[in-house]
Each structure stands twice: as structure tokens, then as C-alpha cells.
Amino acid sequence: MLYALLLLAVGIVIGWNWPQPPWARDFQARVVGTVRSLTDKNR
């Protein structure tokens, strides 16, 4: 549940449904990678 809320918040900030500038894509990739690595360690 917390994971879904975090992804929703990141999506709102970056504007998931709009064309993304390169810096936003880089930031999104970094955040998603960090969240995935944290959630994989908990399994």
C-alpha cells in the first residue's frame, strides 16, 4: 500500500501522463530503482 502511494506521489510530481523532459526521466528512473531495491531487500 505504501509502495503504491509513493509511486502515485512521484507520478503526480513528475507528471507521468505528460511528455517528460530528460531530467524528469532520469529522476523517475532513479526513484523507481531506489524503491525497487528497497522493496526487494524486504522480501
- A 10 A CB-CB count for 20 gives 14
Q: Are 11 and 28 in contact (CB under 8 A)?
A: no
User: What are the tens digits of pLDDT across the range 1-43?
Assistant: 889 898 888 888 777 567 778 998 899 999 999 989 988 876 5
Torsion-angle region of residue 19: left (phi > 0), alpha (psi -120 to 50) or beta? Answer: beta
Task: Report pLDDT for 42.
Answer: 63
Domain around 37: 1-41
Task: Report pLDDT for 43.
Answer: 58
Q: Are 20 and 14 in contact (CB under 8 A)?
A: yes
Structural domain total, the chain: 1
**Cα(8)–Cα(35) distance, rounded to whole angstroms?**
13
